[in-house]
Amino acid sequence: MSAYEPMANPAPRAWRRLWRKPGAVLGGALVAAFTALALFAPVVAPYPPMEMDFRAVQQPPSLAHPFGTDDLGRDVFSRVAYGARISLQVGLIAVGIAAVIGTAMGLIAALAGGWLDGVIMRSVDVMLAFPGILLALAVVAVLGPGLANMMIAVGVSAIPVYARTVRGTTLSVMELDYVVAARSLGAGHVRVALQYVLPNVSAPIIVLATIGIATSILSAAGLSYLGLGAQPPTPEWGSMLSDARAYLRTGWWMAVFPGLAIMIVVMAFNLLGDGLRDVLDPRTR
Amino acid sequence: MIPFLLRRLVAAIPVLFGVSLLAFSMTHLTPGDPVKIMLGERATAEDVARLRLELGLDRPLPVQYLSFVSRALRGDLGTSLRSGQPVAREIGDRIGATATLTLAAMGIAILVGVLLGTLAAIQRSSAVDALIMMIALVGISMPTFWSGLLLILLFSLTLGWFPITDGGWSGLVLPAVTLGLPAAAVLARLTRSALQEVLNQDFVRTAHSKGVAATAVVARHALRNALIPVVTIIGLQFGNLMAGSVIVESVFARAGIGRFAVNAIMARDLPQVQGIVLFAGVIYVVINALVDVVYAAIDPRISVR
């Protein structure tokens, strides 16, 4: 039996299987909590994230300031809460860019074949010649530093994974009997792509996108840490850590809490992604 | 072996061509006039015209590209706008620091990752296994710019064991651990799953039933087979470590290529950025080709002919 045999409706079964995985459930719960924190930051945060208070500079954690205050007297907890908004935004936008462009490239390469396939996949190879954050750095170098450019940079650098996966899956779907039959009955490229290929590639894309959000948040915070992403006074986790570096001796809390937030969110998306891969991706079943 | 090596290197040429094209086009993809960006807002029209002529930006694009590549092949990556130094020499001055950091991190990652992964695979589904896998998950999810700060906080500021910034070999420990941690986590996961798979195979059971001691089975029979995929990932991780050095060098204020790259981007020094992009891309492509060759050498199932 082919790995891409369609099922009647796999969704409810996949949900049930996902529920039985403690790691995935924990990841999902943390993702939900993170999303809620991002959405309700104005309600949750006790202070405006950029409000400075020079009578309360570098206060250690207390009831009034659960995560302490920074070098300008800003409430670290409020800034972490608002930082969730930026991270969520970055994760979704970057993955959105990567998934849409990458999927389109993979589909076109597989369906068109020939020289177009060659050109698309060779450019993917070139993009893969820059590991990790380097491609994002190159894009920032061209566009210039800043929050919006950083999102584009992180998104663009994640395109290759989607393009490769979608191309590979598409090629194997095209071999399936019912797709061959549909094509011989005259179904065109667009019809084949929308009706037969996309439903089959959606599972790997969902898995890649979930783990991709974790990677994007990590890269984006890294770029901001380097001063190439979000600019002060934006309450962004990476740039908060960059500020904290100068005050390690006198204000450890400035360095601890934003980093903890990044780690928990990244771990949450990784756990959820691993669980989804187990239940959705037929190759690992 | 040699023909395989040659073939693999030839296969890398189109990618190298693409990398050079990408580095070259960075000047032209920049929104706005690159010369004005390089010179800043207050540049006079004369200065702009002079630099444009100097950089050869007035010539047709194919001519510019060919001269870019032919100069790069001769080791000339242009001249930095900020320092007036040849970019190739500036990169050369910093290779040592980055290579030392990357190799030290790789060593830590291999040692810790393979050890923990093996331990987890042998003690499958035990508390030890669960603990190691949890550590690996934390290691993968922890940003290096955070773990680096935490290590400085604990080992430099509180315990006073290591210097915070550049200080010879003792100054290398914390950056190398910081950079190696995520790679160690990846290798631990991979070693565990690869070893578990091998431990389930017939020849391992045969060895067990022959009465070979359990440690010898793992060390002599299983690990050797399990390490084949691990070697590939080690090669790929090398690139990730190179990329990761950008952040770790900034955290620990080490004068390597990564920190140089960040400063070049901040200052919008395009010749420097182009040079670094070209250099990093070429190095990574070459390393990947070498990894494939090593992989073929250790795995008899891959035909080298």
* Cβ–Cβ contact B141 with A under 8 A: yes
pLDDT class of A8 with cuts at 50, 70, 90: low
- B150, B268, B284 member nearest A131 (Cβ): B284
Cβ-based contacts of A214 with chain B (< 8 Å)? 141
pTM, rounded to two decimals:
0.88
Q: What is the mean pLDDT of residues B270-298?
A: 85
Cβ-based contacts of A144 with chain B (< 8 Å)? 30-31, 268
Buried b (16+ CB within 10 A) or exposed e, A167-193: bebbbebbebeebeeeeeeeeeeeebb
**Domain spans of chain B?**
94-281
Buried b (16+ CB within 10 A) or exposed e, A242-273: bbbbeebeebbbbbbbbbbbbbebbbbbbbbb
Domains within chain A, CATH numbers bracketed: 22-37+75-284 (1.10.3720.10)
Angle ∠(B169,B174,B179) on CA atoms, nearest 5: 110
* Cβ–Cβ contact A157 with B under 8 A: no
Distance (Å) from the C-alpha of residue B184 to the closest C-alpha of chain A?
Answer: 16
* Cβ–Cβ contact B257 with A under 8 A: no
Is it the case that residue A47 has pLDDT exceeding 80? yes
Distance (Å) from the C-alpha of residue A152 to the closest C-alpha of chain B?
Answer: 14
Interface test with A, best of B33, B141, B155, B237 (most A CBs within 10 A): B141
Cβ-based contacts of B31 with chain A (< 8 Å)? 143-144
Is it the case that residue B9 has pLDDT exceeding 50? yes
Is it the case that residue A264 has pLDDT exceeding 50? yes
Q: What is the ipTM of this complex?
A: 0.87
CA pair distance B287, A72, nearest whole angstrom: 46
The average confidence (pLDDT) of chain A is 88
The pLDDT of residue A32: 95
Is it the case that residue B305 has pLDDT exceeding 70? no
Lowest mean pLDDT among A143-157, B54-68, B91-105: B54-68
Is it the case that residue B86 has pLDDT exceeding 80? yes
Report whether B33 contacts B41 (CB < 8 A).
no
The pLDDT of residue B276: 93
Burial class (CB in 10 A: 0-12, 13-18, 19+), B163: middle
**What's the pLDDT tens digit per position in A22-31?**
889 999 999 9
By CA distance, what is A254's nearest residue in B? Answer: B149
* Cβ–Cβ contact A119 with B under 8 A: no
Q: Which residue matches tokens 């969902």?
A: A206
pLDDT class of A130 with cuts at 50, 70, 90: confident
* Cβ–Cβ contact A186 with B under 8 A: no
Is it the case that residue B151 has pLDDT exceeding 80? yes
- B26, B143, B242 member nearest A222 (Cβ): B143
Say whether A131 and B26 touch across the interface (CB within 8 A): no
Q: Which CATH superfamily is domain B94-281 in?
A: MetI-like (1.10.3720.10)
Local structure of A75: helix, strand or coil = strand
- Could you give the percent of chain B with pLDDT greater than 90? 36
Say whether A267 and B250 touch across the interface (CB within 8 A): no
Say whether A134 and B157 touch across the interface (CB within 8 A): no
The pLDDT of residue A4: 53
Distances (CA, A) of B185 to A135, B121, B135, B191, B197: 23, 14, 8, 10, 19
Select the highest-mean-pLDDT range: A25-29, A125-129, A181-185, B159-163: A25-29
Lowest mean pLDDT among A61-75, B131-145, B219-233: B219-233
The pLDDT of residue A53: 83
The pLDDT of residue B224: 75
